[in-house]
Amino acid sequence: MSIVQTVSCLDGYDPDALRVDKARAAILSCLAPVADTEKISIRNALGRVLAEDIVPQINVPAHDNSAMDGYAVRFSDLERQPLKEIGTALAGRPFAGRLGAGECVRIMTGAVMPEGADTVVIQEVAKKEGERISVPPGQKKAQNVRYAGEDLKVGVPVLKIGTFLKPADIGLIASLGIGEVGVRRKLRVAFFATGDELASIGAPLKEGEIYDSNRYTLHGMLSRLGVEMIDMGVVRDAPDLLEQAFRQASQKADVVITTGGVSVGEADFVRQLMGRLGEVLFWKIAMRPGRPMAFGKIGNAFLFGLPGNPVAVMVTFYQFVRDALLFLSGRDAAEMPLLTAVAAENLRKVPGRTEYQRGTLFREGALWKVRTTGQQGSGVLRSMSEANCFIVLEHERGAVKAGEPVSVQLFEGLA
């Protein structure tokens, strides 16, 4: 099905006043993840997407073992004290014998539970006189024992296809003795900035020029997603150069991202060009910043034509492109969480568009509060640089008073 057909089926689709949620749904409904896979070492697998289920062939831990340093005992023997210490079990060096009635074994954390023992008494409470060990009352049967398969069980899938691999996942795979995993190939993303006013770093600024910053923020945001990047530089607002750039980019990459050239003044000319090259939709999204945006396909590549203003580039990237790239990479849906904080100041907002104000989340006593980073123009990149979150003001919402709850989307997270 063509992009126009797919998208126009969506309920409430209006290219000239498209709600953020509709735009996101429209994009996702057109995408299909890359199918190619490769086998790689787990050392290189951080941030990659699993192309196979991981099913344990061994239990982790492999044996019942002690969670503490102390004495391995038979719980029923504790009525007949003292016990006789008959040997030692160390991690990696099991006790070879078997516990008989009234006997115990000195045991260290991680050591295999000796045959016949069912409970571990911690060394801090045990009294030792020669080889006679006594234990105070109040012990519980099976305490301080870790059981085989408690973490991972043979045959029970632990990581599924589509998992985005975090450090813990890589450790988990290693704990199964697996050194290589099947992952989806990296997504290839080509990008360029458009505009006659753009100067490249290294060249002196001429009258009316600005340095191209969008390509560098894009480079940073794409690096974090772990995609393969093809930086195609700055392209002038000239039809033949743009056509050539779009053709080249779409041949090399799965996704093409551009900045600039989609606002009202320029859209007509880009629109004509796109009409020749592929199938591209031009949207006016009910959001701020980041109103104009193009989405579509050129050849086999998906195109995201982002606005030119530096903050609008980042907002549209995070709200639309990021999810799309993760989905195309084969990763399970991973929407960024919205948390609630208290507005520390009045916020200007009109109903009828979603706003992404740049905020600083901070703590005041037990409360998490948020204030804006000052001037919020879509060209003021400093507002992003100083921020640690977006303050997300929903479509229907009007002005916000200090003290009201607002949604925030954090820029950073563990992982």
Rounded Cα–Cα distance for residues 308 and 380 (Å): 12
Cα gap 48→170, rounded to integer Å: 10
SS (H, E, C) 94-125: CCCCECCCCEEEEECCCCECCECCCEEEECCC
Q: Does 162 bind Mg ion (CB under 5 A)?
A: no
Residue 213 touches which of ligand AMP, Mg ion, none (CB < 5 to 8 A by kind)?
ligand AMP
Question: Taking CB within 5 to 8 Å according to partner kind, which of ligand AMP, Mg ion, none is near residue 214?
Answer: ligand AMP
Q: How far is the CB of 340 from ligand AMP (least distance, A)?
A: 33
Please tell me whether residue 198 binds ligand AMP under the rule CB under 6 A: yes
Examine residue 195 and tell whether it contacts Mg ion (CB under 5 A).
Answer: yes
CB proximity list for 339: less than 8 A, separation 6 or greater: 368, 407, 408, 409, 410
Q: 110: Cβ–Cβ under 8 A, 6 or more apart, which residues?
A: 65, 66, 91, 92
| Contacts of residue 147, Cβ cutoff 8 Å, sequence gap at least 6 | 61, 64
Size of the site for ligand AMP (CB under 6 A): 18
What is the x/- site pattern for ligand AMP, positions 22-61, by CB under 6 A? ----------------------------------------
112 or 257, CB closer to ligand AMP?
A: 257
214 belongs to the binding site for ligand AMP (CB under 6 A) = yes
Q: Which of 311, 318, 347, 313 is nearest to 409 (CA)?
A: 318
Q: Which is nearer to ligand AMP, 47 or 261 (CB)?
A: 261
Residue number, nearest CB to ligand AMP: 308
Site for Mg ion in 273-332 (CB under 5 A): 308
Of residues 163 and 259, the one with the C-beta less far from ligand AMP: 259
Q: Which C-beta is closer to ligand AMP: that of 186 or that of 215?
A: 215
What element of type H or E holds 323?
helix 322-328
| By CB under 6 A, residue 382 contacts ligand AMP | no
114 contributes a contact to Mg ion by CB under 5 A: no
CB-CB contact of 337 with 400 (8 Å)? no
Q: How far is the CB of 193 from ligand AMP (least distance, A)?
A: 4
Q: What is the DSSP letter of 317?
A: I
Among 47, 70, 195, 330, interactor with ligand AMP by CB under 6 A: 195
Partner from Mg ion, ligand AMP, none contacting 142, C-beta within 5 to 8 A by type: none
Residue 250 CA, chain-centre distance (Å), reads: 26
**Rounded to the nearest whole angstrom, what is the least distance from the CB of residue 194 to Mg ion in the complex?**
6
| Residue (119 or 217) nearer to Mg ion, CB | 217
Partner whose footprint covers residue 37, from ligand AMP, Mg ion, none (CB < 5 to 8 Å by kind): none
CB of 242 to ligand AMP, least distance (A): 12
Asked whether the beta carbons of 194 and 227 are under 8 A apart, the reply is no
- Gap between the Cα atoms of 62 and 64, Å rounded: 7
Is residue 260 a contact residue for Mg ion (CB under 5 A)? yes
- Note the helical H segments in 149-292: 167-175, 214-225, 239-252, 264-277
Residues of span 296-315 touching ligand AMP by CB under 6 A: 307-310
For 26, residues 6+ apart whose C-beta sits below 8 A from its C-beta are 6, 7, 10, 13, 18, 295
**Residues 222-261, mask of contacts with ligand AMP (x by CB under 6 A):** -------------------------------------xxx
Give the DSSP H/E element, type plus range, for residue 7.
helix 3-8
User: Which residues form the interface with ligand AMP (CB under 6 A)?
Assistant: 193, 195, 198, 210, 212-215, 259-261, 263, 266, 307-310, 379
**Where on the chain is the footprint of Mg ion (CB under 5 A)?**
195, 260-261, 308
